[in-house]
Structure 1
Amino acid sequence: MTILPETKLYIGGELRQAQGGRTYENVNPWTGEVVGHAADASAQDVEDAIAAARKAFDTTDWSTNHAKRYELVKKLYDLFAANKERLGELARYEAGASLVAVNRAQVGLALEAWGDLMSVFPQVVWERDRGTKETYGFTTHRKTVNEAIGVVGAITPWNVPLYVNAEKVVSALLAGCTVILKPAPDTPALGAVFGELAVEAGFPPGVLNVITASDPAEAGELLVTDPRVDLITFTGSTAIGKHIMRQGAETMTRVFLELGGKSVNIVLEDAPNFAQSVAQTMLVFHAGQGCAVQSRLLVPKSRYAEAEAILTQAYKAFEDKWGHFDDPACPMGPVISKKQMERVKAYIDLGVKEGARLIAGGKLRPDMGAGWFVEPTCFVDVTNDMRIAQEEIFGPVLVVIPFEDDEDAIRIANDSVYGLSGGVVSADLDRAMKIAERIRTGTISVNGGVPITGDLPFGGYKHSGIGRAWGVEGIEEYLETKTIGYRK
């Protein structure tokens, strides 16, 4: 049943079909049915987009006219805000979002974070006087200038597509770059809408381009290996991020990567409401499909049996509260695709084989519908050397690991190739802060504090990425620094 309109490419200021009229199917994760068709870009379409972006950067005042850029980005934001209901429908039908997810990360928080980015734009420093210095017997006046890096290829994921698309597109545009957005094949409409509304906002030709394609790699590879593209910003798996780094090395393309995570939530024995803190760690929001989700729960050995009982009861109470398309209180729907469903199930089977014990879930749920449903799942008796504790599952799978004391909790938290997010809960704020400061991660919550908003930098340590998104720092990722010395 076709529900979503056919999407088009946006290249050089024009909405157009892909070369030869090629399209591919957009599938609804709730039902497994085709709900729309998207333009399927060819290599020539990608070439046209790169040429358009390069021309717009090299021959117009886009990179230097700060007021003009801000005005157009604000117009685009206003159009997105006016289309909030439509964006929600796109998130539901192509990203498999529940209504709770739509109102939070999928659309509501995406627009809020976009507004945060615009609010910090005046804080960007474009020029700084560095004073004078006597060198070689004469006086040199010095200044540093921040300039847009150039053409940006933005490759984005399917889990929270509007949120990540906005982060990359808006940050790069505000910095003065021109952009080629390549959304994930699974969520083309939430990328194509940027082109549709850019036309309405009156964007200059080539400043923003949108390429959708069925092949998950071809268009991205063309962007990464083309010397006319100055920067690649990618959000997705660490394996693909490493591949992009290797490919970009040949042309010395700058890479900005936001990758995977296996974040911890440490609930200490003195947590003010231990039961509530433990129960709230159930990994169910958007079926656990988030890079910053806290998928490793660490609890003290002295209260491990208690935590298991709390989680057993919490998951049982949640059994009939997920998988409902029209329920405004439902936080969890299907995973994005059959491929992802099978991947998550393979990890669940692996966990059982490794010796972990299931206390909830573990099964696929075809009775929920023809889409891609995996039960909310929780493992106990987990050790941190198990693959289910070390590898990113990207599904509704929580692992519960015991620790001896604060030092042991910190050791377990840092015993990971990832370092993206995390949390600590304790009645003793000083104790919790000391633990948080020693965990090698890009963002961390203490006692429920929110460290991830559009006006703050977000990114990871270690294999979780390179660079920072959002905030002033996120805009600055798209800038080059030039130093000028001159004599009067």
Structure 2
Amino acid sequence: MNGLVPPEGTSLLIGGTLSPGGSGAFATINPATEEVLGYAANASAADMDAAIGAARAAFDETGWSRDHAFRAHCLRQLRDAMRAHVEELREITVAEVGAPVMLTGGPQLEGPIADLSFAADLAETYTWDTDLGSAVQMGIASRRVIRREAVGVVGAITPWNFPHQINLAKLGPALAAGNTVVLKPAPDTPWCAAVLGPLIAEHTDIPAGVVNIVTSDDHGLGARLVEDPRVDMITFTGSTQTGRAVMAAASATLKRTFLELGGKSAAIVLDDADIAAAASYTAFSVAVHAGQGCALTTRLLVPRAAYDDAVAAAIEALSGLRAGDPTNPGTVCGPLISARQRERVERYLEIARAEGGHIAVGGGRPENAARGYFVEPTLITGVANTATVAQEEIFGPVLVVIAHDGDDDAIRLANESPYGLSGSVWGTDPERIERVVSGVRTGTLSVNGGLWYHADAPFGGYKHSGIGREMGVAGFEEYLETKLVATPA
């Protein structure tokens, strides 16, 4: 396919060596065509054991965790290597993820590469030691210093929807903080992780064992990573159901656990907002990358008196967004990642109908798409906020419109969800907007279309949407321990 991915497939990266998988290879599929793209190395349990051992040795036996400037240098090398191969990476991303090519200029590829600069800069500029000064206890004067140190070996388990963004949002800060990493990517998008192997091995000075990449179609290897006592921390992005299992398994060894999980975020439109503009924007956003984003606003809460106007605007917006070829620069809504995911979305649409909902637009497969895992951008009306499709994460291009009876009711409806990942507020009165922002229990909020995604901005959720923050200084500090050192004053 290109120079980064040889015809026979990709390799594992373990202990600085590119190697085949002990369980052979497994296919990776183009979700837009249903064709086999090629093969990825399929790791065995022994491979995972070796990767963890390599990461443990690299942390315990080298100076990686103590040389901040060297780590910054290595991260910039990785950034530059990815930039040098960005067109090959773009081709892989569009083909394997089904990501619309327009998104690869932002969060699907080039944005995460650029974000490595922030991680590298933090390694150099972060205040690693803080002097607390002297204090006297029981007649003894002591000088106290707080040190921040790397956690140790980090197991990173990542999903398929934004693989570069999430892989690098874990690798960058974890490495900048001085940790070593075992990366276990989703089996749906193994190439997007595996291509980092040769770039790291051949174009950076990252020591052997500091980064290990283990691709596999066996979800049991992720469980082994979580349970292994040599691993000090797990960082996981994925479904809330799997997140619960990760947290439970990690508790046996009292691992630090970061979880970025699901969402059912609400777009709250106040009665002084431009109803049509807010509804159109929200409808457009839910179709981006076929709705496969945990932070997308998939519930549209509108004033009851403006319900019909909001529905009309959303229908118009979604009707103009056809699910199609992700290689087309004009495509916004590409395919779902797999037949399994398409079946999941279609099952939720059947549930919506059974619960009295109306499919106002979309709701099926595109007529002109004989192949590919496509679902039309869809609008559901006529359901309560307690309906299944308003409470559970669908992970497809599906928007639910719900009426509210004023600002307080909108806040109540937004919070009437097990999730609290993201959301938006639309209005013109600053005081009312601030009241809603303060009232909604969620990790990120957009006001009138403001964008919260950036390398220096922490991302994460309340409630069942996760524990901890990724990106920003807060995300970097997830990978640090705190040590207090006291000496005689």
TM-score of the superposed pair, with normalisation by structure 2: 0.96
SS of residue paired to 2:106 = helix
Which AA in structure 1 matches 2:381?
V
Listed one character per residue, the Cα deviations across residues 13-58 of structure 1 (whole Å, up to 9, x for unaligned) are 01111126x0000111001110010000000000100010000000
Q: Which residue is equivalent to 1:164?
A: 166
Q: Which runs of 5+ in 2 are unaligned?
A: none
Distance, in Å, in 2 between the alignment partners of 1:76 and 1:250 is 35
How many residues get paired? Answer: 483
Match of 1:240 among 226, 239, 242: 242
Distance, in Å, in 1 between the alignment partners of 2:367 and 2:304 is 37
Q: CA RMSD in A?
A: 1.5
Q: Which residue is equivalent to 1:290?
A: 293
C-alpha deviation, 1:306, in angstroms: 0.9
Which AA in structure 1 matches 2:421?
L
Q: Which runs of 5+ in 1 are unaligned?
A: none
Q: Which residue is equivalent to 1:220?
A: 222
Q: Which residue is equivalent to 2:407?
A: 406
Q: Which residue is equivalent to 1:195?
A: 197
Distance, in Å, in 1 between the alignment partners of 2:343 and 2:366 is 12
Which AA in structure 2 matches 1:76?
L
Q: Which residue is equivalent to 2:314?
A: 311
Q: Which residue is equivalent to 1:112?
A: 114
Distance, in Å, in 1 between the alignment partners of 2:295 and 2:319 is 25
Q: Which residue is equivalent to 1:358?
A: 359
C-alpha deviation, 1:472, in angstroms: 1.0
Cα gap change, 1:193 to 1:314, in 2 (>3 Å) = same
C-alpha deviation, 1:123, in angstroms: 4.6
Q: Which residue is equivalent to 2:232?
A: 230
Question: Are 1:11 and 2:14 counterparts?
Answer: yes
Distance, in Å, in 1 between the alignment partners of 2:227 and 2:191 is 26
Q: How does 1:60-75 map to 2 (within 5 A)?
A: 60-75=62-77
Question: Are 1:332 and 2:327 counterparts?
Answer: no
Which AA in structure 2 matches 1:40?
N
Tell whether the 8 Å contact from 2:68 to 2:123 is kept in structure 1 after alignment: no
SS of residue paired to 2:409 = helix
Distance, in Å, in 1 between the alignment partners of 2:22 and 2:275 is 58
Which AA in structure 2 matches 1:118?
A
Distance, in Å, in 2 between the alignment partners of 1:53 and 1:472 is 24
Which AA in structure 2 matches 1:64?
R
Distance, in Å, in 2 between the alignment partners of 1:12 and 1:366 is 49
Q: Which residue is equivalent to 1:56?
A: 58
Which AA in structure 2 matches 1:82?
A
C-alpha deviation, 1:268, in angstroms: 1.4
C-alpha deviation, 1:122, in angstroms: 4.3
Cα gap change, 1:330 to 1:235, in 2 (>3 Å) = same
Q: How does 1:244-393 map to 2 (within 5 A)?
A: 244-271=246-273, 273-282=274-283, 283-318=286-321, 321-365=322-366, 367-393=368-394
Listed one character per residue, the Cα deviations across residues 259-300 of structure 1 (whole Å, up to 9, x for unaligned) are 0000011111211x3312211111200000001000001100
C-alpha deviation, 1:196, in angstroms: 1.3
Tell whether the 8 Å contact from 2:265 to 2:299 is kept in structure 1 after alignment: yes
Listed one character per residue, the Cα deviations across residues 83-102 of structure 1 (whole Å, up to 9, x for unaligned) are 11111111111101111222
Tell whether the 8 Å contact from 2:76 to 2:116 is kept in structure 1 after alignment: no
TM-score of the superposed pair, with normalisation by structure 1: 0.96
Tell whether the 8 Å contact from 1:261 to 1:392 is kept in structure 2 after alignment: yes
SS of residue paired to 1:342 = helix
Listed one character per residue, the Cα deviations across residues 352-396 of structure 1 (whole Å, up to 9, x for unaligned) are 111111101111237413110111111011211011001000010
C-alpha deviation, 1:479, in angstroms: 0.5
Tell whether the 8 Å contact from 1:117 to 1:455 is kept in structure 2 after alignment: no
Distance, in Å, in 2 between the alignment partners of 1:316 and 1:30 is 20
Q: Which residue is equivalent to 1:45?
A: 47
SS of residue paired to 2:27 = strand
Larger mean CA deviation between 259-268 and 109-118 belongs to 109-118
Distance, in Å, in 1 between the alignment partners of 2:193 and 2:227 is 22
Larger mean CA deviation between 427-436 and 181-190 belongs to 427-436
Tell whether the 8 Å contact from 1:2 to 1:35 is kept in structure 2 after alignment: no
